[in-house]
Chains A and B, each alone.
Chain A
Amino acid sequence: MELYDIIFYLIALTVVVSAAIVVGSKNIVRAAYSLLFTFLGVAGIYILLGADFIGVTQLMVYVGGILILLLFGIMLTNKVYSVDIRRENSYIIPSIVIVGIFAAFLIFVMTETNWVTADPTFPNTTVFELGKTLLVHYSIIFEILAIVLLIALIGAATLARNDNKER
């Protein structure tokens, strides 16, 4: 058992446990905070896999952006008088069963397939490589992404605006 493995198992445990809490918690704020730890754990996984830039981006975007957004959403749409989330969902049992079977299948597939693997590499110049590949081979995607972001921005702003006066 190497250090690498021990770290992996620790981080994996964190991720899974906090994800479970996100999914199972009655308290939505607790779920949000647990989501934070999930993101952190996932960032750790990224770094373990040698994708340092992605890991940092994950922290910045997910934790610093999306999680904040979610928190905003929670705060803005929460009913003040009651925090209890009714759990009379009739889909719990069937969904546990189905998702459980699904998970089992996925894991079965993952383990049984002969993945074509090469030796794991830890590139030194991740950022450089990323930039080069992005702007040389995937420039279209880069541009489109920019447009998508723009559209999302405008769209979100339009959707969320207060248009009582304009009726």
Chain B
Amino acid sequence: MAHVGLTHFLILSAILFSLGIYAIVVRKNAIMVMMGIELVLNSANINFIAFAHFGNYGISGQIVSLVVIILAAAEAAVALAIVLNLFKTYSHINVDEVNKLKE
């Protein structure tokens, strides 16, 4: 293998992304879905940082990464609140059984 370059990091992030998508699609527990979401976000972050390092973009990539982390945190908080509400209503959190909106 050649010297580790941009491509390697991108491949890593692609793998992480796919795994994250898989987790979102397959898992039934809401918390597991949230873990998948975190994985996806992390993979995106790796992408940004890699480009910030290997490109000519200055420090902007890291700024974006920072923003993503912050938003991930906020979203995780809200999502958990929703999940707790779900648990209160359904006494389970299997997302494929939460379908009261569908007729």
Tell whether any CB of A sits under 8 Å from a CB of B in the complex.
yes
Known: A121-B53, A130-B59, A160-B81. Contact between A89 and B26, CB under 8 A?
A: yes
Judged by a CB distance under 8 angstroms, whether B73 is at the interface is yes
**B32 & A19 in contact (Cβ 8 Å cutoff):** no
Number of residue pairs spanning A and B whose beta carbons lie under 8 angstroms apart: 227
Band of interface residues on A = 35 or more
**Docked complex Cα distance between A61 and B38 (Å):** 12
**Docked complex Cα distance between A54 and B70 (Å):** 11
- Chain A residue at smallest Cβ distance from B34: A70
**B54 & A118 in contact (Cβ 8 Å cutoff):** yes
**B6 & A117 in contact (Cβ 8 Å cutoff):** yes
Highest count of chain B CB atoms <10 Å: which of A9, A12, A19, A57: A19
Residue interface bits A133-167, CB-to-B below 8 A is 1, else 0: 11000100100010011011101111110000000
**A66 & B84 in contact (Cβ 8 Å cutoff):** no
Contact among B18, B23, B62 with A53 in the assembled complex (CB-CB below 8 Å) = B62
**A5 & B1 in contact (Cβ 8 Å cutoff):** yes
Taking the closest CB of chain B, its distance from the CB of A50, in whole angstroms, is 5
**Docked complex Cα distance between A38 and B40 (Å):** 12
**B5 & A45 in contact (Cβ 8 Å cutoff):** no
- Contacts of A62 on B, CB cut-off 8 Å? 38, 42, 69, 72-73
Closest 5 CB pairs of A and B: A152-B74, A159-B81, A103-B18, A160-B81, A106-B14
Q: List 23 A-B contacts (CB under 8 A).
A: A15-B12, A16-B16, A19-B16, A35-B38, A39-B42, A42-B46, A57-B66, A69-B76, A77-B31, A79-B92, A86-B28, A96-B22, A99-B22, A111-B7, A115-B55, A123-B59, A126-B62, A130-B62, A145-B67, A151-B74, A152-B74, A155-B81, A157-B81
A interface residues (Cβ-Cβ under 8 A, vs B)? 1-2, 4-5, 8-9, 12, 15-16, 19-20, 22-23, 28, 31-32, 35, 38-39, 42, 45-46, 49-51, 53-54, 57-58, 61-62, 65-66, 69-70, 72-74, 76-77, 79, 85-86, 89, 91-92, 95-96, 99-100, 102-103, 106-107, 110-111, 115-118, 120-121, 123, 126, 129-130, 133-134, 138, 141, 145, 148-149, 151-153, 155-160
